[in-house]
Amino acid sequence: MHHIKARRKGKGCNVWLALVRDYVILRSHEEIALMTSVQDIEKMILRVALQDRKAFEALYSATSAKLFGIILRVLKDRAAAEDVLQDVYLRLWQGGAGTFTSGTASPISWLATVARNRAIDRLRQLKPSRPLSDAPEIADAKPGPEALVMAASDRAQIHACLEELVPDRAAAVRGAYLDGDTYADLAARFGVPLNTMRTWLRRSLLSLKDCLNR
Amino acid sequence: MTDDTIIPDEDFSGDDVLAAEYSLGLLEAEEMVQVARRARIDLEFGALVEQWQDHFSALTNEVEPVAPPKNLFKKIASEAYPDSPKRIWHQLGVLPALLGAGAAALVLILALQFGVVNPPEPTVATYAARIAAEDDSLVVQAAYVNDTGTLFVERQAGSGVAERSHELWLIAGDDAPLSLGVLAADGSLDEITIPAALRDRLEGATLAITDEPLGGSPTGVATGAILAAGLITVL
C-alpha cells in the first residue's frame, strides 16, 4: 500500500498511469482489430444509429485510423484532417449512421466514401450541403449473401480495370479520387491543356465503365 | 490509335460520365451541388453514383491507415453526448464567453433562434464569470442559472496539484470570502447549488479560486494563494 501511495505522489505516477492506460488501450485495439469483421462494423453502424455509445466508441476504434488516413491523403493538413474526421463521426452519431442501408455496399466502403467526400468538400471549401451519403432516399430491399460477395468482387474489379488503362490515365483517376486533384491540377501534373485532360479522363471513365460492366 | 485522336462519335454527355465525374469530385462547385441534388431525387442516377462511389472506394485500400490523435474521440464524445460538459456550456450559451461577452450574447441569440437550446426547458444562464489567473495558466468558466440556483463550474485551462485542492470563493462587497466548495480534481464540470440567501449577492461579486489542502481549507477561511479570480457579469 505504501509504495502505491508513494507512486501516486509526484510526476512518476502520471507516467506510470499513462503506461497502464496505453496498455489497456492497446489491448482493446488489438482485440477490436482481431474481432471486427465486416458484419461487426455493420452491426456497430446500426447500433450507432440507435445511439449506442459503446458501439460508437467501438466503431471509432475500429475505423478511425483508416478514415483518418483517407482524409489526410486528400487534405495533406493534419489540423484540417482532424477537423473533418471529427465532423464525420459527429454526423454519424447525429443521424448519419441511420442513412446506411445495410447490405447494399460494404459498411467499410460506405464509411470510406463518406470520409473521402467530406474531405473533398473541405478541400473545395464547399459547405457540407450534401447529405452524408449520396444514395437515393429510398431504401433498397436487403440483398442476400450472394450480393454481398458480388459487392466485394466489384471492389477488387476497379484495380483490374485501372490496369487496362494507359498508366498515366489510371494515375489521373487515382489522383482525382485519392488526392482530390481537379482537372486543372491533373492538367498541370501531366503537362497537357485542360481540355485535353478532360477528354482523356472522360475517355478513361468510359473505358472503365465498359470494363466494370464486363 | 493514339490517345490524342478525336473520335468523332465520342459522346461524354451521358449520365455515366457525369456520375463518375461527380463521384471523383471533378465538377465545378455549382454543378456539384446540382448533381448532388439530382442523385438524391433521381433513383436511376443516384444508383449510378452509388455504383461509381462503391467502385472507387476500393482505391482507398492502398491508403495507409493513420492513427488519429489520442484525445480526438473524447472531443467527439463531448460534442456528441447531450450530458457532456461541452454540450451543457453550449446550451447555457456560455462557452463563447471565453471569446468575449459580445460574442456570447450573439451566440445565445443564434442558439435560441436555431433551436440549439432545448426548447422544452430552456436552461439559460443569468450570470457568467471567467475565473482566470493573470497569465491564464488557470482558467475556470462559471455560469449561474437563476431558475435552479445552480452554478456550473468547469476548468478550461490549467491543472491541479496532487494532494492539493482548488477551492472556490464568493467575494461579495466587503464581506469576507465565502466558500462555495472544492472543485473537482480533474477539472470536470461541477454543479454547485448556491444557498438561497446568497443568490441576490452574486451580481457584481467576484469568484476566486485558492490553493488549499486536500479537501479544502480546514478553517473555513482561505489559507492558500489566490490562483485565479473573475467578476460575475450579467449575460
Instruction: Quote the cell numbers at residue A143.
Output: 440483398
Average confidence (pLDDT) over A17-31: 49
Rounded distance, CA B177 to CA B205, Å? 10
The reply to whether A138 touches chain B by the CB within 8 Å rule is yes
Instruction: Quote the cell numbers at residue A83.
Output: 477537423
Whether B101 and B94 have beta carbons less than 8 Å apart is answered as no
Q: Is A148 helix (H, G, I), strand (E, B) or coil?
A: helix
Q: How many CB pairs under 8 A join A and B?
A: 171
Measured between CA atoms, the residue of chain B closest to residue A169 is B3
Cβ-Cβ contacts under 8 Å, A124 against chain B: 25, 29, 32
Task: Please tell me the predicted confidence (pLDDT) of residue A6.
Answer: 37
pLDDT beyond 80 at A155: no
Task: Please tell me the predicted confidence (pLDDT) of residue A209.
Answer: 92
pLDDT tens for B140-182 read 888 888 878 888 888 888 888 888 999 999 988 888 889 999 9
* All structural domains of chain B: 15-62 (no CATH), 72-234 (2.60.40)
pLDDT tens for A90-139 read 999 988 888 887 666 688 888 999 999 999 989 987 655 455 565 544 43
Q: How confident is the model at residue A150 (pLDDT cuts 50, 70, 90)?
A: very low
Closest of A134, A15, A71 to residue B63, by C-alpha: A71
Residue B194: DSSP 8-state: P
User: Chain A, 32-51: which have a CB under 8 Å from a chain B CB?
Assistant: none
Contact at CB, A177 and B24, closer than 8 angstroms:
yes
- Distance (Å) from the alpha carbon of B122 to chain A's nearest alpha carbon: 21
- Dihedral sign (CA B27, B33, B35, B36): positive
pLDDT tens for A69-82 read 999 999 999 999 99
Higher pLDDT, B86 or B218: B218
Which residue in the set A25, A126, A157 is minimally distant from B32, CB to CB? A126
Closest of B209, B210, B208, B206 to residue B231, by C-alpha: B206
Task: Please tell me the predicted confidence (pLDDT) of residue B101.
Answer: 43
| Residue carrying C-alpha cell 449512421 | A97
User: Which of B10, B38, B54, B74 has the most A C-beta neighbours within 10 Å, making it the best mutation to test the interface with A?
Assistant: B54
- Distance (Å) from the alpha carbon of B58 to chain A's nearest alpha carbon: 5
Q: Look at B72-76, B77-81, B212-216 and tell me which has the smallest mean pLDDT.
A: B77-81
- Return the amino acid letter for A11: K
Rounded distance, CA B199 to CA B206, Å? 13
Average confidence (pLDDT) over B74-81: 87
ipTM of the complex in this document: 0.74
The top-scoring range by mean pLDDT among A83-87, B175-179, B201-205 is: A83-87
Distance of CA A17 to the CA centre of its chain: 32
Average confidence (pLDDT) over B71-79: 89
Average confidence (pLDDT) over B102-107: 44
